[in-house]
C-alpha cells in the first residue's frame, strides 16, 4: 500500500507517490488508496492518475446509492469535468465540489499523468468505507495472477457489505478466474437478481465466458 513516511501520536504523514498505485478500470486508471493506507474513518479520500491524455481520471458515476458529497482537487495536469452534461475545464489547482449526489460526474485527462484527489462523505451522516474499495484493491491480484487472493479480498468486502450487487458480480468474476465455477455461478445469479439491467454487460464480460456453457448460467436463454 505504500510507506507511511512519518508517524506521531495521533497523526501520520505520507507522500502520495509513496502509496503504491493499483491499476483499475482495465488499466486506464491508477488508484492510490489514500484512505486505506492511512485508515481514515471519517471520510473517503483517494487519489487517481490517468496515465495518458484521454483516459478517465474520474469514472462516470453518481453518488445516489451512498448519498455522498464529493470534492475533487486537480493536483497535476489538466482535466475536463462533465457534470450532468455541462463541461468544465480544470487545470492543476482547480477544486470541483459536487454537492448533489444525483449529479452524474466524469473527468477525462487532457494531459498525461493528470492526477485528481477525491474526498467524499455524507452530509450530516455517518461515513462508512465503501465496498468498491475491495474490488479496486483486488485488481492488484489480477495483475499478479493470484486469483485466490483476488477472491479473498472481494469476499472480505462482501462480509462487510452483504448483498452488494457490485461486489457479488466482481466476486463471481474473480471466482471464475480462480476456477471456482459453482461459487461464481451462484454469485453472478444473485448479482443479476439484484441488478437485472446488468445482464447485457454480464453476457459480454470476458471474465465470465467460461461460465456460459455450464448448467446454471443465468443468461442461457438470452
Three-class DSSP labels, 197-211: HHHHHHHHCHHHHHH
Are 33 and 69 within one domain? Answer: yes
Residue 192, CA distances (Å) to 124, 172, 181 in order? 32, 11, 16
Which cell goes with 99? Answer: 454537492
169: part of which helix (H) or strand (E)?
Answer: helix 165-177
Is residue 165 in some structural domain?
yes
User: pLDDT band for position 215 (50/70/90)?
Assistant: very high
Angle at 202 between CA 147 and CA 142, to 5 degrees: 20
Are 31 and 84 within one domain? Answer: yes
Are 139 and 103 within one domain? Answer: no
Phi-psi region for residue 179, left (φ > 0), alpha (ψ -120 to 50) or beta? left
Over residues 127-160, the pLDDT tens digits come to 999 999 999 999 999 989 999 999 999 999 999 9
Over residues 46-84, the pLDDT tens digits come to 999 999 999 999 999 999 989 999 999 999 999 999 999
Q: Which residue has the higher pLDDT, 95 or 222?
A: 95
Is residue 57 in some structural domain?
yes
Distance CA 189, CA 214 (A): 13
| pLDDT for res 220 | 72
Residue 16 has pLDDT above 90, yes or no: yes
Distance CA 187, CA 174 (A): 11
Residue 221 has pLDDT above 80, yes or no: no
Are 23 and 56 within one domain? Answer: yes
Are 145 and 110 within one domain? Answer: no
Distance between alpha carbon 193 and the CA centroid of its chain, in Å? 22
Range of the domain at 104: 6-121
| pLDDT for res 27 | 81
Provide the edge-to-edge strand list for the sheet that holds 105-109.
56-61, 105-109, 78-83, 86-91
Rounded CA Rg of the chain: 18
Over residues 186-206, the pLDDT tens digits come to 999 999 999 999 999 999 999
Q: In this structure, what are the phi and psi dihedrals at residue 121, rounded to the nearest 5 degrees? A: 175, 170
User: pLDDT band for position 10 (50/70/90)?
Assistant: confident
Are 102 and 56 within one domain? Answer: yes
Are 103 and 138 within one domain? Answer: no
Give the closest residue to 182 by CA, choosing from 193, 171, 195, 166.
171
**E strands along 34-146, which residues?**
44-50, 56-61, 69-76, 78-83, 86-91, 95-98, 105-109, 114-121
Residue 167 has pLDDT above 60, yes or no: yes
| pLDDT for res 209 | 96
Distance CA 137, CA 103 (A): 26
Are 28 and 52 within one domain? Answer: yes
Residue 1 has pLDDT above 70, yes or no: no
| pLDDT for res 219 | 87
| pLDDT for res 222 | 54
Which cell goes with 14? Answer: 505520507
Are 60 and 142 within one domain? Answer: no
* Domains in the chain, number: 2
| pLDDT for res 5 | 64
Q: What is the CATH number of the domain that holds 16?
A: 2.60.120.10
Is residue 220 in some structural domain?
no
Give the closest residue to 141 by CA, choosing from 128, 125, 152.
152
Residue 18 has pLDDT above 60, yes or no: yes
Amino acid at each position: 500500500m505504500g510507506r507511511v513516511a512519518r508517524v506521531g501520536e495521533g497523526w501520520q504523514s505520507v507522500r502520495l507517490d509513496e502509496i503504491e498505485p493499483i491499476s483499475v478500470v482495465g488499466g486506464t486508471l491508477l488508484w492510490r488508496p489514500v484512505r486505506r493506507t492511512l485508515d481514515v474513518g471519517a471520510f473517503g479520500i483517494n487519489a487517481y492518475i490517468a496515465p495518458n491524455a484521454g483516459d478517465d481520471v474520474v469514472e462516470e458515476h453518481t453518488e445516489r446509492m451512498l448519498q455522498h458529497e464529493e470534492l475533487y482537487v486537480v493536483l497535476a495536469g489538466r482535466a475536463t469535468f462533465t457534470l450532468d452534461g455541462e463541461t468544465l475545464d480544470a487545470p492543476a489547482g482547480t477544486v470541483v465540489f459536487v454537492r448533489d449526489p444525483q449529479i452524474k460526474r466524469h473527468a477525462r485527462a487532457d494531459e498525461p499523468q493528470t492526477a485528481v484527489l477525491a474526498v467524499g462523505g455524507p452530509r450530516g451522516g455517518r461515513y462508512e468505507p465503501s465496498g468498491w474499495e475491495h474490488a479496486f484493491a483486488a485488481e492488484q491480484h489480477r495483475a499478479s495472477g493470484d486469483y485466490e487472493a483476488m477472491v479473498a479480498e472481494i469476499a472480505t468486502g462482501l462480509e462487510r457489505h452483504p448483498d452488494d450487487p457490485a461486489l457479488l458480480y466482481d466476486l463471481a468474476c474473480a471466482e471464475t478466474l480462480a476456477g471456482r465455477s459453482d461459487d461464481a455461478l451462484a454469485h453472478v445469479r444473485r448479482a443479476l437478481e439484484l441488478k437485472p439491467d446488468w445482464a447485457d454487460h454480464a453476457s459480454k464480460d470476458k471474465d465470465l465466458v467460461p461460465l456460459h456453457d455450464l448448467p446454471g448460467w443465468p443468461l442461457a436463454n438470452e
